[in-house]
Amino acid sequence: MMRGKADLAVVGGGILGLAHAYAAARRGKRVVLFERHGQARGASVRNFGMVWPIGQPAGAMHALAMRSREIWLEILAAAELPYLPTGSLHVAYRRDEADVAKEFAAFGPANGYDCRWVDAAEALKRSPALVERGLLGGLFSSAELTVDPRVIVSRLPLFLAERYGVVLRYECAVHSIELPAIKAGEETWEAGQVVLCGGDDFETLYPGLFAQAGLTRCKLQMLRTVPQPRGWQLGPALAAGLTLRYYPTFEVCPSLRGLKTRVAEESPEYDRWGIHVMLSQTAHGEITIGDSHEYGADVDVFDKKEIDDLILRYLESFVRLPEPAIAQRWHGVYAKHPAMPYFTASPEPGVRVVTVTSGIGMTLSFGLGEKIIHEIGAA
């Protein structure tokens, strides 16, 4: 039976676990990271890979997202991992969408967002994918990055091991924590502290804590096209009117209420499944498209064709891709809390639980990891 020692044990090889491991290891701590599977298979490998500060409301959350972005850029460069620093464009085809985008363009720059309204001609210049007919313009923001989640979860752990000596224990589920002892698979480890980043696993460790916290799950359906022709670039990651009603960022816009009412009356099916449509490009040229939001602890194993059809129907209203064929469909699940953007608690001395509960874990990961490691004094 293997035995080992570490200053900090991180449970979970998703992006949150990797971010905490990075923050602690960079500060010279001996870190061991446990992941139940041979490779992380949770939300972190199933997402768009959007680092999306524009989705965070002004103030502390936006500042955390921007700090996270800064660390993302640092680690992507150090690990030589590909990413697209393309920014984002929320396009408007309806008057109320343009009103919200313009209102935010007026509010944003004074509140830390590098964003502005662009007219239809500039929007078309920025993205060759956009449908010209009816396009009024859009909200361009420079901060958003796209990474390829599949590349990140497979290569980042190796970088952490090579550069910072993080000990990787994959295929090794942690089933008991009684500090200093941690039991994982057949192994026993000794650690000073533990950070549990188990994503939406509420059942294995501290089930009582998760039950009391009022957490549930959110399921999202996703699609990915075949690679686009060599050299063809989507430009910024794209979103449209439905997305303006989704992120809390835009709640400051007086016209948002009217937009929400209009969507609810015109196309209640989009509200029913929590659909808004975004797309980003991978380094290999595929386009990742999503998504929907179904809430509840029991996640439906089976995907709904109706949801995929609605996503693709809305997509066609604003985007034309040279190669629209869908190559892959999947779903992902994240932990959800009705109000908190992330949940953190200390169920016993030396143990910290951290899970992002608002579908923005790629964006917040490195900022949150740094903050938590600083708070627990593992820094």
Ligand X SMILES: Cc1cc2nc3c(=O)[nH]c(=O)nc-3n(C[C@H](O)[C@H](O)[C@H](O)COP(=O)(O)OP(=O)(O)OC[C@H]3O[C@@H](n4cnc5c(N)ncnc54)[C@H](O)[C@@H]3O)c2cc1C
Interface residue list for ligand X (CB under 6 A) = 11-17, 34-37, 40-44, 46-50, 52, 173-174, 197-199, 201, 204-205, 220, 222, 290-291, 332-334, 355-356, 359-363
Q: How near is the Cβ of 45 to ligand X at its closest, in Å? A: 7
The residue among 206, 161, 215, 146 whose CA lies nearest residue 35 is 161
Q: Is the Cβ of residue 14 or residue 87 nearer to ligand X in the bound state?
A: 14
**Lookup result for tokens 């109706």:** 306
Cβ–Cβ < 8 Å for 197, 63:
no
Q: How near is the Cβ of 337 to ligand X at its closest, in Å? A: 12
Q: Is the Cβ of residue 344 or residue 363 nearer to ligand X in the bound state?
A: 363
Q: Is the Cβ of residue 262 or residue 283 nearer to ligand X in the bound state?
A: 283
The residue among 324, 359, 93 whose CA lies nearest residue 228 is 324
Q: Is the Cβ of residue 258 or residue 274 nearer to ligand X in the bound state?
A: 274
Q: How near is the Cβ of 264 to ligand X at its closest, in Å? A: 24
Q: Is the Cβ of residue 115 or residue 184 nearer to ligand X in the bound state?
A: 184
Q: How near is the Cβ of 210 to ligand X at its closest, in Å? A: 11
Q: How near is the Cβ of 90 to ligand X at its closest, in Å? A: 15
**Lookup result for tokens 């290999």:** 284
Spatial distance between the Cα atoms of 228 and 248, rounded to a whole number of angstroms:
32
Q: Is the Cβ of residue 178 or residue 265 nearer to ligand X in the bound state?
A: 178
Give the pair of three-digit tokens for residue 120.
Answer: 């239809």
| Sheet of 83-84, strands arranged across | 50-51, 145-147, 83-84
Torsion of the alpha carbons at 113, 116, 122 and 126, rounded to the nearest 10: 10
Q: How near is the Cβ of 225 to ligand X at its closest, in Å? A: 16
Label each residue of 324-376 as H, E or C: CCEEEEEEEEEEECCCCCEEEEEEECCEEEEEECECCHHHHHHHHHHHHHHHH
Q: Is the Cβ of residue 127 or residue 363 nearer to ligand X in the bound state?
A: 363
What is the sign of the dihedral through the CA atoms of 194, 200, 204 and 209? positive
Spatial distance between the Cα atoms of 358 and 343, rounded to a whole number of angstroms:
10
Q: How near is the Cβ of 352 to ligand X at its closest, in Å? A: 13
Q: Is the Cβ of residue 69 or residue 102 nearer to ligand X in the bound state?
A: 69
Q: Is the Cβ of residue 94 or residue 217 nearer to ligand X in the bound state?
A: 217
Q: For the chain, where are the E strands, in sequence order?
A: 3-11, 31-35, 50-51, 83-84, 88-92, 115-119, 137-141, 145-147, 167-170, 174-178, 181-184, 187-196, 216-225, 237-239, 278-281, 287-290, 294-295, 326-336, 342-348, 351-356
Q: How near is the Cβ of 364 to ligand X at its closest, in Å? A: 7
Cβ–Cβ < 8 Å for 340, 248:
no
Q: How near is the Cβ of 136 to ligand X at its closest, in Å? A: 26
